[in-house]
Amino acid sequence: MTPLLEMQGVSRVYRARRGLFGTGTPVRAVDHVSLQVAPGRTLGIVGESGCGKSTAGRLALGLERPDSGAVQFRGAPMAAPGTAAWRAERAQMQLVFQDPLGAMDRRLTIAQQVLEPLEIHGIGTAAERRERLATLLRDVGLRADLAERHPHQLSGGQRQRAVLARALATDPALLVCDEPVSALDVSIQAQIVNMLTDLQAARGIAMIFISHDLAVVRLISHEVAVMYLGRIVEQGEAEAVFAAPIHPYARALVSAVPVSGPRRLERIVLSGDPPNPAQRPPGCAFHPRCALALARCRTEDPDLVTQSDGRMVACHRAGELARAAA
Amino acid sequence: MSATTMTAPRQRIPVLVLIAMAWIATILMVALFAEMLRPYGITAMDLRARLTPPVGFGGTIRHLLGTDELGRDVLSRLIVSVRISVLIAFGATAIAALFGTTLGFLAAHFRGLVEQGVLMLIDFQASMPFLIVALSVLAFFGNSLPLFIALMGLYGWERHARIARGLAIAANAQGYAAAVRQLGATPGRIYLRHLLPNIASTLIVAATLSFPEVVLLESGLSFLGLGVQPPMTSLGNMVGYGREYLTRAPWILLAPSSIIVMTTLSVSLVGDWLRDRLDPTLT
Amino acid sequence: MIRFLGLRLARAMLTIVLVVTFAFVVLRMSGDPAMTIMSPEAPAEAIAAFRKAWGLDQPIWLQYLHYFGAILQGELGQSMRDGRPALVLVVERIPATLLLTVPALLLKIGLGLPAGIYAALHRNSLADRMVMAGAVAGFTVPSFVLGLLLVLLFAVQLGWLPSGGQESWRSMILPVITLGLGGAGILARFTRSAMLEVLGQPYIRTASAKGVPWALVVRGHALPNAAIPTVTIIGFMIGSLIAGAVVVESVFSWPGVGRLLVVAVANRDLAVVQCILLLVATTMVSANLIVDLLYGVLDPRLRGGGH
Ligand SMILES: Nc1ncnc2c1ncn2[C@@H]1O[C@H](COP(=O)(O)OP(=O)(O)O)[C@@H](O)[C@H]1O
Ligand SMILES: [Mg+2]
């Protein structure tokens, strides 16, 4: 299947400026990342906070332009942010935020906000919009009487459903969910994730699901990419990666997820400091925290190499680790 | 402002603030209905009753607050002066709010050079005594009421610009403005339909802080004879005129003076109270 | 430190450039100088000659540069009224103004600073309430009203002091009090809130919790830290030493720069107005610069960044 969205070698560098004339160290928030998502499929992106997941999501949506590399939607490059063409494109792709309260205008009702994309893109008559509102609320599991409420009168889970209804209003082909359930109670997390799965099945939406919580990502993803300091260190079929991660960082993450039944991996605790993107270690960026690091890892940066099972791993010891895992 | 302050139980309004509010309401009523309330025309002269003191100080009921050198009724002049001064202060405050908010939004939207330019203007405005700038402009352009209001409208815009810029940048970075932008909304929609209503209460508090300052500025300039020009009259203008009769007819000067002081005091009290309730971070 | 100095200096220069630009723009926008100076019936050749002589036929940016150059060389034009150089006219008046504003500044600091500190240390006491009430009065009572009330009381009713003029030191008393009281109120309010802010900081509470005597906490921590914002407002007051008395000088017929400015504005004596504008800008900017540098001394953390 041809991918709906394709990112090829995309990088994004932030220069934190201090004052009017000061220049800070550049931060490579996303470094040479390549991804694809096909319609009806979900790509999970996992990694510690600050590794560049959100930036990757914004780049995928064309909310910012990459400093290098290309992002293609339906085989064509995206329009420049802020242009009329770019605004029109927004109807086809949407972002769901971690903080639904912050993502909504606290002065407008849920109904006004859910219908706002239709107003913006001039879709439908007033009567059609009203009908659409009822459908959308039903699809995300919100009672119709909540439509006239304001955001702060809703619970966290209801708010996230409302944000989702707004995102779905224009029938987008691509949905980027950036930590959509991290701020919610665990019991509600599962409901929202299940609802997303159902919606995707019904509408054939392509999804990028960003989270630092592997348990949630595992529930919903077809493929998964593990990021570390702006780069993808392991990427492949979700089942394969979660069952037998190869990259030592991915192994550490997966081993930290509580599982029922016998454990296949023994718990690996990450040692060393969490990474600082402004001071990227030389060689393999993960080597200061890696129990398996060799001398080579300190100087030589590993490439993302396709393994025999089709998975891609950026580790000098990927071959032997893959054999050991099998 | 968080949701909690919006839904917090209503505290009782202090008595002093209530009195101030009542005074402001009275002043607004007087300004609105000045033409109906004034007993005489402001240029109507009663030459047989020149320099009559107010009632209770040897005056008569015909001229409650007495008359001036030309026998013009002080109360009537006072009522019309209130109207003019309030008109100027409202007009100027509204212009400053509009101008400042627009510049603040432009700075937040374009960033880069536009933002640096706006920040430079803010610095300039904040570092020059406004009275001197206003006087220079008056010297160069001469005086007319529209120009005078426009000039007063340049007072205090930087406060609005700072607020609008700060809040817009914050909302663009994370919050609802970013969310609406990625829905495909035009900048006009983001700024007018979403940002403006959300920061309106903060802007209104800022306006209540600059309103009394504008009243003082206007009356100061008019007092110097460089603001509102006769035959029109304003509160400062009346004080300036009454100064000539300080020894013989102090009421000409005391009546407008007390109105100025009570009004600026009331608006400051209400403004401070509003700020403490809505947005304590404002200065 | 060099960088810090350089940045501050650059900003000061920028403000001056802005003021000059402002004067130039206002001057040009206010009408065609050829038309203002020459009568409308003047022959076209005469007007053309005038334009040539004054460089008005040159492109606007060149005119701007010339204007700038003239100001840098201190050529600020002549007063339209008596033909004397505007600069001389203005400088002549400075001592009279300083005679009012310097004692007034001392009064503001001497009254406002202790009142604000005392009010903050005795928050919600009767004294605090009185200081706050006085402070509010300080900026809601316009100086011309206060001045005239003082005249009414002390000159007209009691006859103790002269109501204006510059005959003896006694004529200074009322204007200085008028200027000083309002400023003292503003300063007291500012100092109080700066102190309260500092007193609410965790390190102050830690220090006093650790048993450091309260007086020491106040002297060692609270006062120096509250000084930083307070210095700004005092800097602004120093910056307005020359122009801060416009209204009060008029009330008391005091022959200072402020009175000169009002008369010049009324007569549209542009050279004099422009000269005062630049003078005020320069003092203001210098005062700000000094405050900024003082900041650097008081608070080493600020030395690093631009803002
Ligand atoms: N707008 C920005 N300006 C400067 N730096 C940024 C910006 N956005 C993100 N970064 C930096 O890029 C890195 C990655 O951030 P982000 O993509 O938000 O990570 P994640 O979502 O995985 O937590 C972080 O170091 C962050 O500080
Ligand atoms: Mg993130």
pLDDT tens digits for chain B (283 residues)?
343 344 444 568 888 899 999 999 999 999 888 888 887 887 777 777 777 777 777 777 777 777 877 878 888 889 999 999 998 998 999 999 999 999 999 999 998 888 888 888 888 887 778 888 888 888 878 778 888 888 888 888 998 999 899 989 888 877 889 999 999 999 999 999 999 988 888 888 888 878 888 888 888 888 888 888 888 888 888 888 888 888 888 888 888 899 999 998 898 888 888 877 775 555 5
Report how far apart, in Å, the C-alpha atoms of C104 and of each of A99, C236, C260 are: 55, 14, 20
A319, part of any domain: no
Distance from CA of A322 to the nearest CA of C (A): 50
CA distance A56 to A53: 5
Domains held by chain B: number: 1
Conformational region of residue A45, where left means phi above 0, alpha means psi within -120 to 50, and beta covers everything else: beta
User: What pLDDT is attached to residue A13?
Assistant: 94
User: What pLDDT is attached to residue A261?
Assistant: 56
User: What pLDDT is attached to residue B8?
Assistant: 44
Q: Is the pLDDT of residue A217 over 90?
A: yes
The single residue listed with the structure tokens 């950026």 is: A314
Q: B180 and A61 in contact by Cβ < 8 A?
A: no
Taking contacts as CB-CB distances below 8 angstroms, the residues of chain C near A18 are 305-306
Mutate to test the interface with B, among C144, C232, C292 (most CBs of B within 10 A): C144
Q: In sequence order, what DSSP letters do the residues of C31-48 get, joined into one string?
A: --HHHHHS-TTS-HHHHH
C166, part of any domain: yes
Ligand nearest to the CA of A55: 1
C252, part of any domain: yes
Rounded to the nearest 10°, the torsion over CA B80, B82, B85, B87 is -80
User: What pLDDT is attached to residue A316?
Assistant: 93
CA distance A227 to A54: 11
User: What pLDDT is attached to residue B4?
Assistant: 39
C77, part of any domain: no
- Closest ligand 1 atom number to CA of residue A15: 4
Q: Which domain holds residue B243?
A: 38-282
User: Do residue C254 and residue C159 come from a single domain?
Assistant: yes
User: Do residue C37 and residue C179 come from a single domain?
Assistant: no
More confident residue, A150 or C34: A150
Tens of pLDDT along C47-77? Answer: 777 667 666 677 778 888 888 888 888 777 7
Nearest chain B alpha carbon to A121: B184
Q: The whole model's pTM is what?
A: 0.79
Distance from CA of A28 to the nearest CA of B (A): 19
Q: C152 and B246 in contact by Cβ < 8 A?
A: yes
Tens of pLDDT along A180-211? Answer: 998 888 889 999 999 999 999 999 999 999 99
B2, part of any domain: no
User: What pLDDT is attached to residue B279?
Assistant: 59
Give me the sheet containing A5-15, strands edge to edge: A26-37, A5-15, A68-73, A76-77
Out of A18, A25, A27, mutate this one to test ligand 1's pocket (max ligand atoms within 8 Å of CB): namely A27
Rounded to the nearest 10°, the torsion over CA B33, B36, B42, B43 is 140
CA distance A123 to A116: 10
CA distance C109 to C187: 7
Mean pLDDT of C101-115: 91
B198, part of any domain: yes
With contact defined as beta carbons under 8 Å apart, do A11 and A31 qualify?
A: yes
C307, part of any domain: no
Q: Look up the CATH number of the domain holding residue B269.
A: 1.10.3720.10
Q: Which residues contact ligand 1 via a Cβ below 6 A?
A: A 14, 16, 27, 29, 47, 49-55, 277
Nearest chain C alpha carbon to A18: C305
Taking contacts as CB-CB distances below 8 angstroms, the residues of chain C near A19 are 305-307
User: In this structure, what are the phi and psi dihedrals at residue B267, rounded to the nearest 5 degrees?
Assistant: -65, -40
Q: Which domain holds residue A139?
A: 80-172
Window from A184-188, C290-294, C296-300 with minimum mean pLDDT: C296-300
B28, part of any domain: no
Report how far apart, in Å, the C-alpha atoms of A267 and of each of A205, A248, A264, A288, A326 are: 35, 12, 9, 19, 18
> If you ran DSSP here, which 8-state letter would residue A31 be given?
E
**Distance between Cα A29 and ligand 1 center (Å):** 6
Q: Is the pLDDT of residue A262 over 90?
A: no
C178, part of any domain: yes
User: Do residue C128 and residue C213 come from a single domain?
Assistant: yes
User: Bridge-partner residues for B17, per DSSP?
Assistant: none
Give how far the C-alpha of residue B82 lies from the chain's centroid of Cα atoms, to the nearest Å: 12
Domains held by chain C: number: 2
Window from A279-283, B14-18, B64-68, C246-250 with minimum mean pLDDT: B64-68
* Interchain CB contact of B232 with C (< 8 Å): no
Among the three residues C16, C37, C72, which one is the final residue of a domain in this structure?
C72
Q: Is the pLDDT of residue C39 over 70?
A: no
Handedness of CA A235, A238, A239, A245 (dihedral sign): positive
Tens of pLDDT along C269-289? Answer: 878 888 888 888 888 888 888
Mutate to test the interface with B, among A104, A105, A152 (most CBs of B within 10 A): A105
B11, part of any domain: no
User: Do residue C62 and residue C167 come from a single domain?
Assistant: no
Q: Is the pLDDT of residue C267 over 90?
A: no
Mean pLDDT of A273-293: 86
Which of B281, B283, B274, B279 is CA-nearest to residue B17?
B274
CB pairs under 8 A between B and C: 121
User: What pLDDT is attached to residue B187?
Assistant: 93
Report how far apart, in Å, the C-alpha atoms of C80 and of each of A28, A297, C35, C53 are: 64, 82, 16, 19
**Distance between Cα A96 and ligand 2 center (Å):** 12
Cβ neighbourhood burial of B278 (10 Å; 0-12, 13-18, 19+): middle
Highest average pLDDT, of A51-55, A262-266, C77-81, C125-129, comes from A51-55
Q: Which domain holds residue C184?
A: 86-300
Q: Look up the CATH number of the domain holding residue A125.
A: 3.40.50.300
A302, part of any domain: no
User: Do residue C98 and residue C67 come from a single domain?
Assistant: no
Taking contacts as CB-CB distances below 8 angstroms, the residues of chain C near B212 are 140
Report how far apart, in Å, the C-alpha atoms of A304 and of each of A313, A317, B27 are: 5, 12, 75
Domains held by chain A: number: 1
Q: How far apart are the first and last CA of chain C?
A: 14
Taking contacts as CB-CB distances below 8 angstroms, the residues of chain A near C305 are 18-19, 22
User: Do residue C246 and residue C207 come from a single domain?
Assistant: yes
Q: Is the pLDDT of residue C154 over 90?
A: no
Q: A18 and C7 in contact by Cβ < 8 A?
A: no
Among the three residues C48, C72, C96, which one is the final residue of a domain in this structure?
C72
C80, part of any domain: no
User: What pLDDT is attached to residue B5?
Assistant: 41
User: What pLDDT is attached to residue A258?
Assistant: 73
- Overall size of chain A counted in residues: 326
Neighbouring CB atoms inside 10 A of A285's CB total 23
User: Do residue C63 and residue C198 come from a single domain?
Assistant: no
User: What pLDDT is attached to residue C306?
Assistant: 37
Report how far apart, in Å, the C-alpha atoms of A82 and of each of B82, B188, C129, C284 are: 48, 12, 54, 42
Express as a percent the part of chain C with pLDDT over 90. 3
Q: Look up the CATH number of the domain holding residue C294.
A: 1.10.3720.10
A101, part of any domain: yes
Please enumerate in sequence order all residues whose Cβ is within 8 A of that of B208, keeping only pairs 6 or more positions apart, or say none: B267, B270, B271, B274, B275
Instruction: Label residue A296 by pLDDT band (50, 70, 90).
Output: very high
Tens of pLDDT along C156-171? Answer: 778 788 777 777 778 8
Tens of pLDDT along C75-98? Answer: 777 777 777 888 888 889 899 899
Mean pLDDT of chain B: 84
